[in-house]
Amino acid sequence: MEYFCDSLKKDGTQGTGTAFLITDRKGTRVVYKGKELLLIFYARISKENRFISWDADGVTFALRKS
């Protein structure tokens, strides 16, 4: 599934791009800018399932449906 991905580092640096959310038998992960970011073990998901956000290594990521 295709999403817009925004990232925000603690130093205020921001990034944006297209990301793909992939779920298979290995789990759920995000491919962003050609790299597999991480497995999502805990994420905040909106009631409409239109927004997913999580924190990892000092970076806040947010996916929103395109």
Q: Along the chain (66 residues), what's the average pLDDT of each consecutive run of 10 residues?
A: 83 88 74 67 56 74 76
Total structural domains within the chain: 1
User: DSSP code of 50?
Assistant: -
pLDDT for residue 48: 59
Range of the domain at 10: 2-65
pLDDT for residue 50: 63
59 C-beta neighbours (distance < 10 Å), count = 15
